[in-house]
Amino acid sequence: MGQYLSILNYRTLLVLVISVITVYLAYRLNINFSIDLTLISIAIIFPLVFSIRGSFRRREKALEHLSQFRSALKTVHCFIISKNELSEELKNEFSSLIVEISENVLGHLRHNHSGTTDLDATINKVYDFLSDKDEFIGRPMRDKVFRYMNDLHESIENLRAINIHRTPISLKAYCVVFIYLFPLIYAPTIISDIGLGKPQWITYFIVLISEFILISLYNIQDQLEYPFDDVGLDDIKLENFKIDR
């Protein structure tokens, strides 16, 4: 139930308060007019839908890169532990290193860390391991490992890019500003359409439910914008991409 309520936040409360105050003042000051809301609706709905689609595509791309990340990491791990020349102690050391990379990368995404120094240092341990154990690992094996390490690096960099570069911030700001201002035009228009003689609660209900829908869609888009924190219903379950799941 808590996840379903995650779309409710301070923006929801602010929009509802603005709506109530706007309808009250419109009735109190006898403000009502009739205008075509089509263009105003397009000014809100179009950028909102565009942002939601953009965020959803980013989420789908993140799933692809996470799958590539785990696949490359798993393949590198299998290559090394299959070497009979390596002792069990060295194999366990490399397995621990693979788990460390998995935990660090997923933790980096989950907690939205900006720095990559620790993450890069952890990944470089793989190259250090291969260099130190070159007497046990032949050149053909190292070349195969390096090829899959390239896939690993590519997937990590793509995930970081998705995490850092979001959908256009200016478009989101434009959208939320219009949602806040919408009741100023919508409330008097609804009053004019239904007539002053009708019960006021009808106007309150229409304006409040319309604004609630708009701000809820915006909040859903905002949660999709960052799909790694496991807050929204549609967030990526990072636990499924751990190497030791």
As a three-state string, the secondary structure of 117-129 is: HHHHHHHHHHHHH
Radius of gyration of the chain (CA): 27
The DSSP output letter for 83 is -
The answer to whether the Cα torsion of 215, 220, 226, 229 is positive or negative is positive
Is the pLDDT at 20 greater than 90? The verdict is: yes
Confidence at 18, pLDDT banded by 50, 70, 90: very high
The rounded distance, in Å, linking the Cα atoms of 61 and 94 is 29
**In the chain, how many domains are there?**
1
Range of the domain at 124: 4-241
What average pLDDT does range 163-167 have in this prediction? Answer: 78
Q: Is the confidence at residue 114, as pLDDT, over 70?
A: no
pLDDT tens per residue across span 144-163: 778 888 888 889 888 888 88
Is 56 a residue whose pLDDT tops 60? yes
Q: Are 228 and 65 within 8 A, CB to CB?
A: no
Higher pLDDT, 38 or 56: 56
Are 119 and 102 contacting, i.e. CB atoms less than 8 angstroms apart? no
The tokens of 171 are what? 């478009």
What is the reported pLDDT for 212? 92
Residue 117 C-alpha from the chain's centroid: 23
